[in-house]
Structure formats: structure tokens, C-alpha cells
Amino acid sequence: MDTKQTVPAIPDTGRKQSHSLWKRMKPYWPIYLMMVPGLIYLLINNYLPMSGLIIAFKKIDYAKGIWGSPWFGLENFKFLFRTSDAYIITRNTLLYNGAFIILTLVCSVAVAIMLNEIRNRFMSRLYQSVILLPYLISMVIVAYLAFAFLGMEQGFFNNTLLPALGLEPIDWYLEAKYWPYILTFVHLWKNIGFTCIIYLASIIGIDPEYYEAATLDGASKWQQIRKITLPLITPTIIVLTLLSIGRIFYADFGLFYQVPMNSGMLYDTTNVIDTYVFRGLLQLGDIAKSSAAGFYQSIVGFILVLLANGIVRKINRENALF
């Protein structure tokens, strides 16, 4: 407000404005100072890597670094898109995330509705805590848990479950065709507890009068869920879903790397953009394709986030990120 009042009155605005800006900033110096560590971290951890994305157009020479390496045009991208890798990792990333989004939504909403049915606070808490437990453990531990079931020689499935059903043992870590189901299951197992808490909070926020009125009118439980609960939590559903669609180009690296135990035989159904970039960079020494895939992910990912947010914003400005 200060500038707006002073600027029109004084002709040589440049000097005066910067002077008054300085004056306006001065009382805040301790606050600027407090922000410095965080901003430096963002510079190092976020902005330098962003500018480093140009590595995708360079022939990397570690000795010369990112900015010193010679330009390489689109060669890295040609390497990447000449193979079937680009197609496979894009397909896997999109299909898995698509399935995760839909199934997480359906299961979490169902679980949240059931949790809301439980009137006993202690039991409700207990269920919530137990279902949330898998969310708290690291993917390395999840890989161990999966291995206890799927291990080829010692796993519970091959030794106990499949023989009991009269089925032959399966080489789980060698057969790619089972992994879409396994990974989807593990993802749901680990994440439902988290998402259902968000939906539960949204359901709890519904005014109980709606239900009381519906009950008086003789509406059945199922009708109440369909006509009251679901419509009233739809904003939450839309926002959470669109935000995960915005992240659809980013896979859960831990899930796809740890749980299949990095088994090469499974790459056809377990390789996603994130694991591809990681392996190219750190295990295969194929930094050309890796950097191209990383660039591809960053740019497409960015566009998708903008799109998703744009839609959220259209629906409900409050819930948009920006």
C-alpha cells in the first residue's frame, strides 16, 4: 500500500521505489535471515538438479560435469526411443498407476464407509491402527514380507498353500506374468490404511442431520450411502484422484525395485520409469538413456501436474494447489 501511495506523487520513481522497497524490507531482516537455510536447501536439492536436466542433451563426461560436458543433440533420446524400453516403461508406469488410482479409490472409500459404521470408538481406532500399520514400514521390510510368501524354495505359497490346493509350485521371481497382480495387491495392502483415513475424515464431517432425515423417510443404509455419503465426499474423491493423476508419470520406486527384488526376469512387467532411470544410472552405466528417460519423465510429469491442477481449480478453487 505504501508504494502505491508514494509512487504517483514522486517523478523519479526508480530510485525512490528501490529506496522505499529497501525501507519496507528492512524491518523484516530477521525473517529473511530465517528463510535462508531453507532456500539454500531448495537451491541445492531442487533448483540445481532442475537446471541439470540439460544433461539429457549432453554426452556426459563426469570429469567435465553437467555444464561442461559437450552437447549431444537429441542422440540420448534416439538411443532411448530406438529400443522398446521407452514403450515398456511408459506403459507399465501408466497402467500400474492407473490401476492403483482406481482400486485405491474404490477400496479406501469402501473401508472408510465401513469404519464409519463402527460406533464403538475403541474398535474403530483399533481397526484403523491395524490397517494403517503397513503404511508405516519401509519397502525393504515389505520386500522381506513378500519374500516369506513368494520365495521359490522356502516361500509359504510354494510349500504350503499351493500343494494344499493341489497346484504346482511357481517360480514367482522368474515369471513376469504374475507381477501385475502381486504389485497391485502390495500397493493396496500398504496404502489403503492411509487413504481411507482421509475419506473417513471427510465422511465424519458430514452433518448427521442428513442421515437422521433420511432414516425418518425410511431410506435404507444402501440408499443413504449412495444418496448422501458418496455425493458429499465426491469433492474429496475428485481432488485426491486428480492429484494422483497428476503424479501418474511417477512410480513408487520402492515398490517396483524392492518387492520384485530387482529380478531381471521380471522387467517386462516390473520396469517403470523410475526403476529404469535408477538402473541405467547406477547399475548398467547407461547414463545416456537414463538421462533421456529422466528428462522425459520430468517434462511429461510437469505437464500432467499442471493439467490435473487446472482441473481441480476449475472444480473447486479451495482445493487446488495453486
Partner 1 sequence: MGTENRIWHVMSHVCLILLSLLSIIPFILLFISSITAESEILSNGYRFWPNEFSLDAYRYLLSNIQVIARAYGITILITAVGTTVSLLITVMLGYGISKTEMPGSRILSFLVFFTLLFNGGLVPTYIIYTQYLGIKNTLWALLVPSLLMNGFNVFLASNFFRTTIPQGVLESARIDGAGEFRAFFRIVLPLSLPILATIGLFNGIAYWNDWNNGLIYLSDPKLYSIQNLLNQMMQNIEAIKTASTAYGANASAMKLPGETVRMAIAVIGVVPILIMYPFFQKYFVKGIVIGAVKG
Residues 277-316 that bind partner 1 (CB under 8 A): 277-278, 281-282, 287, 290-291, 294-295, 297-298, 301-302, 305-306, 309
Task: For the chain, give the longest Cα–Cα distance.
Answer: 92
Q: Does 72 bind partner 1 (CB under 8 A)?
A: no
Asked whether position 234 contacts partner 1 by CB under 8 A, the answer is no
| Interaction of residue 87 with partner 1, rule CB under 8 A | no
CB of 131 to partner 1, least distance (A): 5
Cα three-residue angle 103-109-111, rounded to 5 degrees: 100
Please give the Cα distance from 263 to 271 (Å, whole number). 10
Contact 106, 184 (CB under 8 A): no
What does the per-residue mask of binding to partner 1 show for 240-279, with x meaning CB under 8 A? x--x---------xx---x--x------------x--xx-
Size of the site for partner 1 (CB under 8 A): 103
Give, as ranges, the residues between 152 and 171 that touch partner 1 (CB under 8 A). 153-156, 158-160
> Which residue, 240 or 248, has its beta carbon nearer to partner 1?
240
Q: Which residue from 8, 11, 14, 37 is in contact with partner 1, where contact means CB under 8 A?
A: 37
* Residues written for the chain: 322
Contact stretch for partner 1 (CB under 8 A) within 81-89, 96-104, 174-182, 191-199: 191-199
The answer to the question of residue 177 lying near partner 1 (CB under 8 A) is no
Least distance from partner 1 to the Cβ atom of residue 166, Å: 17
> What DSSP letter does each residue of 89-107 carry, written as one string?
HHHHHHHHHHHHHHHHHHH
Instruction: Tell me the C-alpha to C-alpha distance, in Å, between residue 169 and each of 35, 65, 137, 181, 263.
Output: 58, 50, 29, 17, 18
Between CA 80 and CA 97 the distance in angstroms is 22
**Hunting for cell 474403530 — which residue is that?**
124
Q: Using the rule CB under 8 A, is 172 a contact of partner 1?
A: no
Minimum distance of partner 1 from residue 268's CB (angstroms): 21
Cα angle vertex 192, ends 191, 196, to 5°? 125
